[in-house]
Chain A
Amino acid sequence: MSMATATAQPVERENYLNKHYGVGSWLLTTDHKRISLLYLLSITFFFFIGGFFALLIRLELLTPAGDLVQADSYNKLFTMHGMVMVFFFLIPSIPAVLGNFLVPMMIGAKDLAFPRINLLSWYLYIIGGVMMLHCMLTGGVDTGWTFYTPFSTAFTNTKIVEAGLAIFVAGFSSILTGLNFIVTIHRMRAPGMTWSRLPLFIWAHYATSIIQILGTPVIAITIVLVAVERTLHLGIFDPKLGGDPLLFQHLFWFYSHPAVYIMILPSMGIVSEIIACFSRKRIFGYNFVAISSISIAVFGFLVWAHHMFVAGISVYAALLFSLLSYSVAVPSAVKVFNWTATLYKGSIRYDAPMLYAFGFLGLFTIGGLTGLFLACLGIDVHVTDTYFVVAHFHYIMVGGALMGYLGGMHFWWPKISGKLYPEGWARLAALIVFIGFNLTFFPQFILGYLGMPRRYYQYPQEFQVLNVLSTAGATVLGIGYLLPMIYFLWSMRYGKPAPDNPWNAAGLEWKTPSPPTTFNFAEEPIVTWEAYNYEELDAPHKEEVPVAR
């Protein structure tokens, strides 16, 4: 409840924010923390564009008839919503903002291994983003974010190639970020920061980076093939030219299924940090939680065809991919059980980050369990391509990933900005997001089982009540997302100055000043303790660990 008014501040210490001034100092920076803020601004921009599209979609679906926009406009809206949210918000969100900021600090490094490549990755993202904006403003795309062939290569006359190239360029940004993290985590850990002492946030980002490096090139190749078929009429996917439309789906999902783990794994890393801190405990089963991140990344590559059970693949392929899909469910379940067990005999506080982590647990559990329905062949035939799928992946990608992202933003905001956010408002926002989210997406499970197909801009009368509920929820959710943006901005000017370690949290990032100096640590830290050493931190009569030794 720190609705503090601006008090007379002491002379500010030099930090990464005030060391240099001017636009040039930002656009040419190689400081991972400044690049993280560049990303923060840009992904927030795209988030609100994508959110605006979502709002129009929900408004159109208030009534059964297609009355607010034209059919073609609606098709472009959901396509743009998907492309912007997936490629320009969710995939870069946690890795490029919080990962960028925290990976070096958590392992005791001055920066990422390749600071200039880090800046390059932001420029690639921006170039891709500008191309996408240009594409949207000059006509857009109407294929759905899935670009299914031969519709995308031979039938639509919208800007497929331009949108594809935008994603192609942004993809390299993602690859470079992953590469940077892997090298950094291998090569730049502080003395004593062994693999078994790494925060689980780092393990999660390591797993994410593997997917970024191995998966993204496949979507890049696929985009090139689509462009080649579309412009040169080489038969790759179009049966009229001798191609195979299912080949496209295999290639597309080979990336796009693991891409879901690019979104959710970093979020899981954040949840581990928050739960440990706010229950003052080491994460239960640290090794299992760490390994489960890696196994999700590995098994995630073996399940793609579960998107294709009714697409025309053989019965035996379907059986195999259904079976393999459950191999991803096990490590996900293991994580949830371990987080729950961590709470046992903890000393729990309900600050805003923890509320978001609880929210994550709730939504991810529902999202994960409905994944079992979809992996189950007999059920999938009925519910695939309906609102059941829409609800399921929003529970994972919005419920899970975005809850984690917001939780992380609150948790590390004092470190990032050097200011405290207003706790009361933050708790309220967490509650609004949770309620709004469930009201938006839970009715869609029912709609899906009733048989409402996705991507419909008009629908039979009997689906209306549930659609109205969903739209009502979306408005609540929208307010929930606007609030943090407002009070974060407010706190930058009016928030109380943050202490270096406001949560008394473990982790090297908290041993830096808030906000940190450009090189994070005055001297290279030497790690002599295990991750999540809350027992030592909370031991009675112990002084707080000194700042930046």
Chain B
Amino acid sequence: MFDNFPLWPDRASTAAGNVDALFIFLIIVSGMMTALIFTAVIYFAARYRRQRGVLAEQIEGSTPLELTWSIIPLGVFMVIFAWGAVVYFKGRTPPRDSTEVYVVAKQWMWKLEHAEGQREINELHVPVGRDVKLIMTSQDVIHSFYVPAFRMKQDVLPGRYTVAWFRATKPGTYHLFCAEYCGTQHSGMIGSIVVQEPAQYEAWMSGGTTGPLSATGEKIFAELGCVTCHRTDTQGRGPNLQGVFGKPVLLEDGRTVTADENYVRESILDPGAKVVKGFKPVMPTFQGLVSEEQLNALVAYVKSQSQPAAAGPKTAVAAPQDTHKAGSQVQ
């Protein structure tokens, strides 16, 4: 019977336990508040029901009481706030060295591409016990990537990247919902997250692939001619992209930004927006010339130029000491 009538969702990520603990704390606190108020109301209503010849006793109010029931709840609220902030902050900060998956949402489908090159639709395979970072964008309207079993949700916007992460703890198949209303088939935009033991996952990953995403990106980088200006040997007309990702970049107008996924994306689509100091705004826009998937590949390629051998198609020269700034993707 309880298969059809669950009262608590699956708990399948490291975040789920944190959220549940906080939720139970809130249930206890609000349960106590409710009990207090209901008991008082019911008791007073019964105890002081109207009786012939008994008049109400007029009481003006009491400043100490008012202060008490303002300050005590405020204190409780601050505890709730602080605890909630800690849980949120953890959930918004992808750990370094997460496995990366690029997500492209569209009406009404999820397209997912692993950094290693595997592509999936409405289904995502992930291993138990590894941090997975989702780099997400939408081709059309706003969607929201929601996995109740992971207590994880992040809106997916057109025109920019948003980021989420999780670490699965329990093998199984879990719901993936679109949680932001997106049109006719909104409730059909569902999929599943398949959490596997590492061995099974490796077996699944060894299936057909066109090569790592960054290698695809390198090809596109060459085809579009990016490589003629963004050279790696000498300084070209555009900045050398080796070792740039994740680092602060000084701009022509004096500002400094972190070269994260959104910055790379913007520099491809709107090159004039944030020009690196010492360069001229000569780069043409690639808006409309590259698809979301190709953009993801390009971002993965630029990223691979700042990483040690791991994900890159060829050994990058850049130092790995990047200050991967927490949450800088969501500006």
Contact = CB atoms under 8 A, between A and B. Distances in A.
Partners in one complex: yes
Interface of A: 66, 71-72, 75, 142-144, 146, 148, 150-151, 154-156, 239-240, 245-246, 279-282, 284-288, 309-315, 318-319, 322-323, 326, 329-330, 333-334, 336-338, 340-341, 343-350, 358, 361-362, 365-366, 369-370, 372-373, 375-382, 384-386, 446, 449-451, 453-462, 464-466, 534-535, 538
Given A312-B330, A340-B44, 18 more contacts: A71-B185, A144-B181, A280-B56, A286-B61, A314-B331, A315-B327, A315-B330, A330-B74, A337-B69, A365-B34, A372-B30, A378-B18, A378-B19, A381-B91, A450-B9, A458-B187, A534-B56, A535-B55
Central interface residue in B3, B56, B87, by most chain A CB within 10 Å: B56
B186 A456 contact: yes
Contacts of B204: none
A281 B44 CA distance: 13
Interface string B87-123: 1110110000000000000010000000000000000
18 contacts: A239-B158, A310-B144, A312-B160, A329-B73, A337-B37, A341-B65, A361-B41, A370-B30, A372-B29, A372-B77, A375-B84, A378-B87, A385-B146, A385-B180, A449-B9, A453-B146, A455-B187, A461-B4
Contacts of B330: 312-315
B192 to A, nearest CB: 11
Contacts of A288: 61, 66
Contact of A280 (B23, B55, B87, B153): B55
Contacts of B144: 310, 385
Contacts of A154: 141
A489 B183 CA distance: 41
Contacts, number: 282
Contacts of A348: 44-45, 48-50
A296 to B, nearest CB: 13
A155 B50 contact: no
A282 B89 CA distance: 47
Given A322-B81, A455-B187, A330 B41 contact: no
Interface string B138-153: 0011101010110111
B223 interface: no
Across the A-B interface, give the 5 residue pairs with the lowest CB-CB distance, nearest first: A451-B148, A239-B159, A378-B87, A377-B88, A376-B84
B157 interface: yes
B2 to A, nearest CB: 9
B41 A326 contact: no
B211 to A, nearest CB: 30
A149 to B, nearest CB: 8
Q: Is chain A's interface secondary structure helix, strand, loop, or mixed overall?
A: helix
A313 B92 CA distance: 11
A376 B157 contact: no
B193 to A, nearest CB: 12
Interface stretch (B171-179, B241-249, B293-301): B171-179
A366 B186 contact: no
A334 B66 contact: yes
Interface residues of B, number: 90
B142 A379 contact: no
Given A284-B59, A315-B92, A361-B41, A451 B146 contact: yes
Contacts of A362: 38, 41
B33 A369 contact: yes
Interface string B42-86: 001100111100111111111001100110011001101101111
B15 to A, nearest CB: 9
B23 A449 contact: yes
Nearest to A461: B4
B56 A156 contact: no
Contact of B55 (A329, A341, A538): A538
A83 to B, nearest CB: 14
Central interface residue in A143, A313, A449, by most chain B CB within 10 Å: A449
Nearest to A143: B181
Contacts of A71: 184-185, 187-188
Given A334-B69, A366-B34, A385 B179 contact: yes
A156 B183 contact: yes
Nearest to A74: B187
B184 A378 contact: no
Nearest to B186: A455
Contact of A379 (B26, B40, B41, B89): B26
A171 to B, nearest CB: 23
Interface in B150-209: 151-155, 157-160, 162, 175, 177-188, 190
